[in-house]
Structure 1
Amino acid sequence: MTTPTNPTTASSSGNHTTADPASTAIARTRQWVDKVVIGLNLCPFAKSVQVKGQVRYVVSQAHHEKALLQELARELILLADADPQEIDTTLLIVPDLLADFLDFNDFLAECDDVLEAMNLVGILQIADFHPRYQFADTEPDDMGNFTNRAPYPTLHLLREDSIDRAVQAYPQAEAIFERNIEVLEKLGLPGWQALLQDEPASKPQP
Protein backbone atom coordinates (compact mmCIF):
# COMPACT_ATOMS: atom_id res chain seq x y z
CA MET A 1 0.00 0.00 0.00
CA THR A 2 1.15 3.54 -0.67
CA THR A 3 2.47 5.39 2.37
CA PRO A 4 0.05 8.20 3.12
CA THR A 5 1.07 11.75 3.86
CA ASN A 6 0.58 12.92 7.42
CA PRO A 7 -2.79 14.50 8.12
CA THR A 8 -3.07 17.93 9.65
CA THR A 9 -4.42 17.79 13.17
CA ALA A 10 -5.65 20.14 15.85
CA SER A 11 -7.26 19.97 19.24
CA SER A 12 -10.68 21.48 19.65
CA SER A 13 -9.19 24.42 21.53
CA GLY A 14 -6.90 25.62 18.74
CA ASN A 15 -7.31 28.90 16.88
CA HIS A 16 -6.92 28.76 13.10
CA THR A 17 -6.21 32.15 11.63
CA THR A 18 -4.08 31.11 8.70
CA ALA A 19 -5.59 30.74 5.26
CA ASP A 20 -4.12 27.36 4.31
CA PRO A 21 -6.70 24.77 3.21
CA ALA A 22 -6.22 22.44 6.18
CA SER A 23 -6.69 25.22 8.74
CA THR A 24 -9.75 26.41 6.84
CA ALA A 25 -11.23 22.90 6.84
CA ILE A 26 -10.73 22.57 10.59
CA ALA A 27 -12.13 26.04 11.30
CA ARG A 28 -15.22 25.43 9.16
CA THR A 29 -15.84 22.03 10.72
CA ARG A 30 -15.44 23.45 14.24
CA GLN A 31 -17.92 26.18 13.34
CA TRP A 32 -20.39 23.58 12.07
CA VAL A 33 -20.03 21.65 15.33
CA ASP A 34 -20.54 24.81 17.38
CA LYS A 35 -23.39 26.33 15.37
CA VAL A 36 -25.26 23.26 14.18
CA VAL A 37 -24.44 20.18 16.24
CA ILE A 38 -24.23 22.05 19.54
CA GLY A 39 -26.12 25.23 18.66
CA LEU A 40 -29.23 23.34 17.54
CA ASN A 41 -28.60 20.63 20.14
CA LEU A 42 -28.66 17.94 17.46
CA CYS A 43 -26.36 15.87 19.66
CA PRO A 44 -26.86 16.43 23.41
CA PHE A 45 -23.52 14.75 24.08
CA ALA A 46 -21.35 16.97 21.87
CA LYS A 47 -21.02 20.09 23.99
CA SER A 48 -19.22 18.41 26.87
CA VAL A 49 -16.37 16.95 24.81
CA GLN A 50 -16.05 20.12 22.72
CA VAL A 51 -15.80 22.36 25.79
CA LYS A 52 -13.28 20.03 27.40
CA GLY A 53 -11.10 20.01 24.28
CA GLN A 54 -11.51 16.25 23.82
CA VAL A 55 -12.37 16.39 20.11
CA ARG A 56 -9.52 15.64 17.72
CA TYR A 57 -9.87 17.36 14.34
CA VAL A 58 -7.83 15.78 11.54
CA VAL A 59 -7.66 16.88 7.91
CA SER A 60 -6.91 14.06 5.49
CA GLN A 61 -4.24 14.73 2.90
CA ALA A 62 -5.29 11.67 0.86
CA HIS A 63 -6.05 11.98 -2.83
CA HIS A 64 -7.12 8.36 -3.33
CA GLU A 65 -9.20 5.98 -1.29
CA LYS A 66 -6.41 3.55 -0.40
CA ALA A 67 -4.45 6.34 1.28
CA LEU A 68 -7.57 7.48 3.10
CA LEU A 69 -8.10 3.98 4.48
CA GLN A 70 -4.53 4.05 5.79
CA GLU A 71 -5.19 7.36 7.48
CA LEU A 72 -8.39 5.96 8.94
CA ALA A 73 -6.53 2.95 10.33
CA ARG A 74 -3.92 5.21 11.90
CA GLU A 75 -6.61 7.37 13.52
CA LEU A 76 -8.47 4.33 14.81
CA ILE A 77 -5.32 3.06 16.51
CA LEU A 78 -4.57 6.48 17.96
CA LEU A 79 -8.07 6.85 19.38
CA ALA A 80 -8.15 3.32 20.78
CA ASP A 81 -4.81 3.87 22.55
CA ALA A 82 -5.47 7.43 23.75
CA ASP A 83 -6.65 8.46 27.20
CA PRO A 84 -10.36 9.31 26.79
CA GLN A 85 -9.80 12.37 28.96
CA GLU A 86 -7.40 13.63 26.28
CA ILE A 87 -9.15 12.43 23.11
CA ASP A 88 -12.71 11.17 23.39
CA THR A 89 -13.64 11.33 19.72
CA THR A 90 -12.09 12.13 16.33
CA LEU A 91 -13.40 13.90 13.23
CA LEU A 92 -11.46 12.85 10.13
CA ILE A 93 -12.22 15.57 7.56
CA VAL A 94 -11.82 14.68 3.87
CA PRO A 95 -11.67 17.80 1.64
CA ASP A 96 -10.21 16.24 -1.51
CA LEU A 97 -12.08 12.96 -1.96
CA LEU A 98 -15.59 11.51 -2.16
CA ALA A 99 -17.43 14.69 -3.11
CA ASP A 100 -20.14 12.51 -4.67
CA PHE A 101 -22.37 11.23 -1.89
CA LEU A 102 -23.01 7.85 -3.52
CA ASP A 103 -19.25 7.25 -3.77
CA PHE A 104 -18.89 8.26 -0.14
CA ASN A 105 -21.72 5.95 0.88
CA ASP A 106 -20.11 3.03 -0.94
CA PHE A 107 -16.76 3.81 0.71
CA LEU A 108 -18.26 3.37 4.16
CA ALA A 109 -18.37 -0.39 3.65
CA GLU A 110 -14.58 -0.36 3.26
CA CYS A 111 -14.30 1.66 6.46
CA ASP A 112 -16.31 -1.00 8.29
CA ASP A 113 -13.98 -3.65 6.85
CA VAL A 114 -10.98 -1.79 8.32
CA LEU A 115 -12.68 -1.61 11.71
CA GLU A 116 -13.37 -5.34 11.62
CA ALA A 117 -9.88 -6.25 10.39
CA MET A 118 -8.37 -4.30 13.28
CA ASN A 119 -10.59 -6.13 15.82
CA LEU A 120 -12.08 -2.84 16.96
CA VAL A 121 -15.76 -3.70 16.43
CA GLY A 122 -17.47 -3.15 19.78
CA ILE A 123 -14.69 -0.78 20.87
CA LEU A 124 -14.98 1.97 18.28
CA GLN A 125 -17.53 2.84 15.63
CA ILE A 126 -17.60 5.13 12.62
CA ALA A 127 -20.37 7.64 11.97
CA ASP A 128 -20.52 9.65 8.77
CA PHE A 129 -21.37 13.14 7.52
CA HIS A 130 -21.38 14.67 4.06
CA PRO A 131 -22.37 18.02 2.50
CA ARG A 132 -24.85 16.20 0.23
CA TYR A 133 -26.01 13.59 2.71
CA GLN A 134 -29.29 11.99 1.70
CA PHE A 135 -31.21 9.28 3.51
CA ALA A 136 -33.01 6.63 1.49
CA ASP A 137 -36.47 7.54 0.19
CA THR A 138 -35.98 11.28 0.69
CA GLU A 139 -35.67 14.25 -1.62
CA PRO A 140 -32.32 16.09 -1.67
CA ASP A 141 -33.67 19.16 0.11
CA ASP A 142 -35.69 17.31 2.76
CA MET A 143 -34.60 18.92 6.01
CA GLY A 144 -34.12 15.55 7.69
CA ASN A 145 -31.04 15.04 5.54
CA PHE A 146 -29.41 18.05 7.16
CA THR A 147 -28.92 16.15 10.42
CA ASN A 148 -25.92 14.53 8.71
CA ARG A 149 -24.72 17.38 6.52
CA ALA A 150 -21.28 18.80 7.26
CA PRO A 151 -19.02 21.17 5.30
CA TYR A 152 -16.89 18.25 4.05
CA PRO A 153 -17.11 14.46 3.84
CA THR A 154 -16.29 13.47 7.41
CA LEU A 155 -15.70 10.22 9.27
CA HIS A 156 -16.57 10.49 12.95
CA LEU A 157 -14.72 7.98 15.11
CA LEU A 158 -16.44 7.29 18.42
CA ARG A 159 -15.78 5.16 21.48
CA GLU A 160 -18.50 2.61 22.20
CA ASP A 161 -18.00 3.18 25.95
CA SER A 162 -18.64 6.90 25.54
CA ILE A 163 -21.79 6.21 23.54
CA ASP A 164 -23.05 3.82 26.21
CA ARG A 165 -22.45 6.36 28.98
CA ALA A 166 -24.13 9.09 26.98
CA VAL A 167 -27.19 6.95 26.32
CA GLN A 168 -27.46 6.07 30.02
CA ALA A 169 -27.33 9.77 30.89
CA TYR A 170 -29.99 10.57 28.29
CA PRO A 171 -32.77 8.01 28.74
CA GLN A 172 -34.73 9.23 25.70
CA ALA A 173 -31.82 8.86 23.28
CA GLU A 174 -33.98 7.05 20.72
CA ALA A 175 -36.10 10.19 20.35
CA ILE A 176 -33.15 12.42 19.40
CA PHE A 177 -33.41 11.79 15.66
CA GLU A 178 -37.12 12.59 15.48
CA ARG A 179 -36.61 15.71 17.58
CA ASN A 180 -33.76 16.80 15.30
CA ILE A 181 -35.94 16.51 12.20
CA GLU A 182 -38.59 18.64 13.89
CA VAL A 183 -35.98 21.29 14.76
CA LEU A 184 -34.61 21.37 11.22
CA GLU A 185 -38.04 21.45 9.58
CA LYS A 186 -38.95 24.38 11.80
CA LEU A 187 -35.66 26.08 10.90
CA GLY A 188 -36.23 25.50 7.17
CA LEU A 189 -33.79 25.97 4.33
CA PRO A 190 -33.61 29.79 4.68
CA GLY A 191 -32.84 29.42 8.37
CA TRP A 192 -30.15 26.84 7.66
CA GLN A 193 -28.55 29.10 5.06
CA ALA A 194 -28.66 32.05 7.46
CA LEU A 195 -27.12 29.95 10.23
CA LEU A 196 -24.18 29.02 8.01
CA GLN A 197 -24.17 32.04 5.75
CA ASP A 198 -20.36 32.14 5.84
CA GLU A 199 -20.22 28.39 5.10
CA PRO A 200 -21.20 28.20 1.40
CA ALA A 201 -19.90 24.67 0.93
CA SER A 202 -22.24 23.36 3.61
CA LYS A 203 -25.31 24.67 1.82
CA PRO A 204 -27.27 22.18 -0.26
CA GLN A 205 -26.10 21.77 -3.80
CA PRO A 206 -28.52 22.46 -6.69
Structure 2
Amino acid sequence: MTDINPAAQQTHQWLETIVVGLNLCPFAAPVLKADGVHIEVCEAEQDQAMISAVLEQLDQLQQTDESTMATSLLVFSQGLRDFDQYWSLVEVANELLQQVGLDGVIQIASFHPDYCFEGVAADDVSHYTNRSPYPMLHFIREAQLSRALENYPEPELIPENNIRKLQTMGKPALLKLLSTESL
Protein backbone atom coordinates (compact mmCIF):
# COMPACT_ATOMS: atom_id res chain seq x y z
CA MET A 1 0.00 0.00 0.00
CA THR A 2 1.50 3.31 -1.03
CA ASP A 3 -0.87 5.70 0.78
CA ILE A 4 0.51 6.85 4.12
CA ASN A 5 -2.70 8.49 5.31
CA PRO A 6 -3.35 7.25 8.89
CA ALA A 7 -6.98 6.34 8.11
CA ALA A 8 -5.84 4.35 5.07
CA GLN A 9 -3.14 2.61 7.11
CA GLN A 10 -5.57 1.70 9.87
CA THR A 11 -8.09 0.45 7.31
CA HIS A 12 -5.43 -1.68 5.63
CA GLN A 13 -4.42 -3.11 8.99
CA TRP A 14 -8.08 -3.89 9.77
CA LEU A 15 -8.36 -5.69 6.43
CA GLU A 16 -5.29 -7.79 7.18
CA THR A 17 -6.08 -8.56 10.81
CA ILE A 18 -9.85 -8.84 10.92
CA VAL A 19 -11.25 -9.34 7.43
CA VAL A 20 -8.47 -11.62 6.15
CA GLY A 21 -7.00 -12.74 9.48
CA LEU A 22 -10.35 -14.04 10.72
CA ASN A 23 -11.40 -15.00 7.17
CA LEU A 24 -14.61 -12.96 7.42
CA CYS A 25 -14.48 -12.51 3.65
CA PRO A 26 -13.16 -15.66 1.98
CA PHE A 27 -12.43 -13.67 -1.19
CA ALA A 28 -10.39 -10.85 0.35
CA ALA A 29 -6.98 -12.48 0.88
CA PRO A 30 -5.99 -12.92 -2.78
CA VAL A 31 -7.19 -9.43 -3.72
CA LEU A 32 -5.36 -7.85 -0.79
CA LYS A 33 -2.20 -9.85 -1.51
CA ALA A 34 -2.30 -8.75 -5.16
CA ASP A 35 -2.62 -5.12 -4.01
CA GLY A 36 -6.00 -4.92 -5.75
CA VAL A 37 -7.78 -3.10 -2.93
CA HIS A 38 -7.89 0.64 -3.43
CA ILE A 39 -8.41 2.69 -0.27
CA GLU A 40 -9.60 6.25 -0.83
CA VAL A 41 -9.91 8.54 2.19
CA CYS A 42 -12.54 11.27 2.18
CA GLU A 43 -11.96 13.91 4.84
CA ALA A 44 -15.16 15.80 4.03
CA GLU A 45 -17.87 16.29 6.60
CA GLN A 46 -20.51 17.94 4.41
CA ASP A 47 -23.11 15.76 2.71
CA GLN A 48 -22.56 17.14 -0.79
CA ALA A 49 -18.80 16.65 -0.62
CA MET A 50 -19.26 13.08 0.57
CA ILE A 51 -21.75 12.38 -2.22
CA SER A 52 -19.24 13.81 -4.71
CA ALA A 53 -16.61 11.45 -3.27
CA VAL A 54 -18.98 8.51 -3.85
CA LEU A 55 -19.50 9.55 -7.48
CA GLU A 56 -15.76 10.05 -8.00
CA GLN A 57 -15.04 6.61 -6.57
CA LEU A 58 -17.64 4.99 -8.79
CA ASP A 59 -16.13 6.75 -11.79
CA GLN A 60 -12.59 5.77 -10.84
CA LEU A 61 -13.60 2.15 -10.39
CA GLN A 62 -15.26 2.16 -13.83
CA GLN A 63 -12.28 3.86 -15.48
CA THR A 64 -9.70 1.52 -13.95
CA ASP A 65 -9.06 -2.02 -15.11
CA GLU A 66 -10.00 -4.74 -12.63
CA SER A 67 -6.43 -6.07 -12.67
CA THR A 68 -5.24 -2.71 -11.29
CA MET A 69 -8.15 -1.94 -8.94
CA ALA A 70 -10.20 -5.01 -8.13
CA THR A 71 -12.26 -3.34 -5.43
CA SER A 72 -12.40 -0.06 -3.58
CA LEU A 73 -13.04 1.24 -0.08
CA LEU A 74 -14.14 4.83 0.42
CA VAL A 75 -13.20 5.69 4.00
CA PHE A 76 -14.77 8.69 5.72
CA SER A 77 -12.11 9.79 8.20
CA GLN A 78 -13.94 12.87 9.54
CA GLY A 79 -17.63 12.58 8.78
CA LEU A 80 -20.43 10.12 9.34
CA ARG A 81 -19.60 9.21 12.94
CA ASP A 82 -23.34 9.01 13.65
CA PHE A 83 -24.61 5.66 12.38
CA ASP A 84 -28.00 7.01 11.28
CA GLN A 85 -26.32 9.77 9.25
CA TYR A 86 -24.01 7.14 7.76
CA TRP A 87 -26.94 4.89 6.88
CA SER A 88 -28.60 7.80 5.07
CA LEU A 89 -25.48 8.12 2.92
CA VAL A 90 -25.53 4.36 2.21
CA GLU A 91 -29.09 4.76 0.92
CA VAL A 92 -28.10 7.76 -1.23
CA ALA A 93 -25.09 5.85 -2.60
CA ASN A 94 -27.32 2.93 -3.61
CA GLU A 95 -29.73 5.35 -5.30
CA LEU A 96 -26.78 6.88 -7.16
CA LEU A 97 -25.81 3.43 -8.44
CA GLN A 98 -29.19 3.21 -10.12
CA GLN A 99 -29.13 6.78 -11.40
CA VAL A 100 -25.74 6.37 -13.08
CA GLY A 101 -26.62 2.96 -14.54
CA LEU A 102 -24.31 0.86 -12.35
CA ASP A 103 -26.97 -1.18 -10.56
CA GLY A 104 -26.02 -4.78 -11.29
CA VAL A 105 -22.46 -3.71 -12.16
CA ILE A 106 -21.27 -2.53 -8.75
CA GLN A 107 -22.68 -3.25 -5.33
CA ILE A 108 -21.99 -1.47 -2.08
CA ALA A 109 -21.18 -3.16 1.21
CA SER A 110 -21.37 -1.05 4.35
CA PHE A 111 -19.04 -0.89 7.37
CA HIS A 112 -19.09 1.47 10.34
CA PRO A 113 -17.47 1.56 13.82
CA ASP A 114 -20.95 1.45 15.41
CA TYR A 115 -22.61 -0.91 12.94
CA CYS A 116 -25.71 -2.54 14.41
CA PHE A 117 -27.98 -5.06 12.78
CA GLU A 118 -31.64 -4.22 13.21
CA GLY A 119 -33.38 -6.36 15.81
CA VAL A 120 -30.13 -7.56 17.41
CA ALA A 121 -29.04 -6.60 20.93
CA ALA A 122 -26.65 -3.63 20.87
CA ASP A 123 -23.87 -5.54 22.65
CA ASP A 124 -24.05 -8.63 20.41
CA VAL A 125 -20.73 -9.71 18.92
CA SER A 126 -22.37 -10.24 15.51
CA HIS A 127 -22.18 -6.50 14.81
CA TYR A 128 -18.40 -6.81 14.52
CA THR A 129 -18.79 -8.60 11.18
CA ASN A 130 -19.57 -5.13 9.79
CA ARG A 131 -17.64 -2.92 12.18
CA SER A 132 -14.61 -1.10 10.89
CA PRO A 133 -12.23 1.54 12.22
CA TYR A 134 -13.96 4.26 10.16
CA PRO A 135 -17.27 4.63 8.35
CA MET A 136 -16.73 3.26 4.86
CA LEU A 137 -18.35 2.07 1.68
CA HIS A 138 -16.97 -0.97 -0.09
CA PHE A 139 -17.51 -0.89 -3.85
CA ILE A 140 -17.56 -4.42 -5.26
CA ARG A 141 -17.52 -5.33 -8.94
CA GLU A 142 -20.46 -7.69 -9.40
CA ALA A 143 -18.80 -9.65 -12.23
CA GLN A 144 -15.75 -10.28 -10.08
CA LEU A 145 -17.94 -11.35 -7.15
CA SER A 146 -19.94 -13.69 -9.42
CA ARG A 147 -16.72 -15.36 -10.57
CA ALA A 148 -15.57 -15.81 -6.97
CA LEU A 149 -18.91 -17.27 -5.93
CA GLU A 150 -18.95 -19.84 -8.76
CA ASN A 151 -16.54 -22.12 -6.91
CA TYR A 152 -17.51 -21.32 -3.35
CA PRO A 153 -19.85 -23.80 -1.67
CA GLU A 154 -22.92 -22.26 -0.03
CA PRO A 155 -21.92 -18.58 -0.14
CA GLU A 156 -25.24 -17.64 1.45
CA LEU A 157 -23.88 -19.13 4.70
CA ILE A 158 -20.93 -16.69 4.89
CA PRO A 159 -22.72 -14.17 7.17
CA GLU A 160 -24.02 -16.93 9.46
CA ASN A 161 -20.59 -18.60 9.57
CA ASN A 162 -18.95 -15.26 10.42
CA ILE A 163 -21.35 -14.63 13.27
CA ARG A 164 -20.77 -18.13 14.61
CA LYS A 165 -17.00 -17.63 14.33
CA LEU A 166 -17.15 -14.41 16.33
CA GLN A 167 -19.48 -15.95 18.91
CA THR A 168 -17.07 -18.86 19.34
CA MET A 169 -14.15 -16.47 19.60
CA GLY A 170 -16.05 -14.38 22.16
CA LYS A 171 -16.30 -10.65 22.48
CA PRO A 172 -13.39 -10.28 24.99
CA ALA A 173 -10.96 -12.07 22.64
CA LEU A 174 -12.19 -10.06 19.66
CA LEU A 175 -11.85 -6.77 21.54
CA LYS A 176 -8.35 -7.79 22.62
CA LEU A 177 -7.41 -8.52 19.01
CA LEU A 178 -8.83 -5.17 17.94
CA SER A 179 -6.92 -3.28 20.64
CA THR A 180 -3.71 -5.22 20.02
CA GLU A 181 -3.82 -4.20 16.40
CA SER A 182 -4.67 -0.57 17.29
CA LEU A 183 -7.91 -0.77 15.36
Q: TM-score, normalised by structure 2?
A: 0.95
Structure 2 residues without counterparts, runs of 5 or longer: none
| Alignment partner, residue 5 of structure 1 | none
Residue aligning to 1:110: 92
- Equivalent runs, 1:166-185 vs 2, <5 Å: 166-185=148-167
* Equivalent residues of 1:124, 1:159 under 8 A apart: yes
Distance 1:198 1:72 in 2: 31
Q: Provide the residue aligned with 2:44 in structure 1.
A: 62
- Counterpart of 2:143 in structure 1 is 161
Moved over 3 A (4+): none
In structure 1, the partner of 2:65 is: 83
Tell me, yes or no, if the aligned pair for 2:17 and 2:181 is still in contact at 8 Å. Answer: no
- Which range moved further: 191-200 or 132-141? 191-200
Q: Distance in 1 between matches of 2:110 and 2:178?
A: 20
Q: Does 1:95 align with 2:43?
A: no
The answer to whether the Cα contact below 8 Å between 2:42 and 2:50 also exists between their aligned partners in 1 is: yes
**CA deviation vs aligned residue, 1:104-138 (integer Å, no higher than 9, x gap):** 11221111121111111111111110000000101
- In the alignment, structure 1 residue 125 sits paired with structure 2 residue 107: yes
What is the aligned residue count? 183
- Which structure 1 residue ranges, 5 or more long, are not aligned? 1-12, 17-22
State the SS of the aligned residue for 1:197: helix
1:14 deviation in Å?
2.6
For 2:121 and 2:89, how far apart are their aligned partners in 1?
22
Instruction: State, as a whole percentage, how many aligned pairs show the same letter.
Output: 36
Is 2:15 the partner of 1:27?
Answer: no
8 Å contact from structure 2 (residues 45, 80) kept in 1? no
**Residue 198 of structure 1, CA deviation:** 4.4
Give the C-alpha shift of residue 61 in structure 1.
2.2
The equivalent residue for 2:18 is 36
CA contact (8 A) 1:80 1:124 kept: no
Opposite residue 79 of structure 1, the aligned amino acid is L
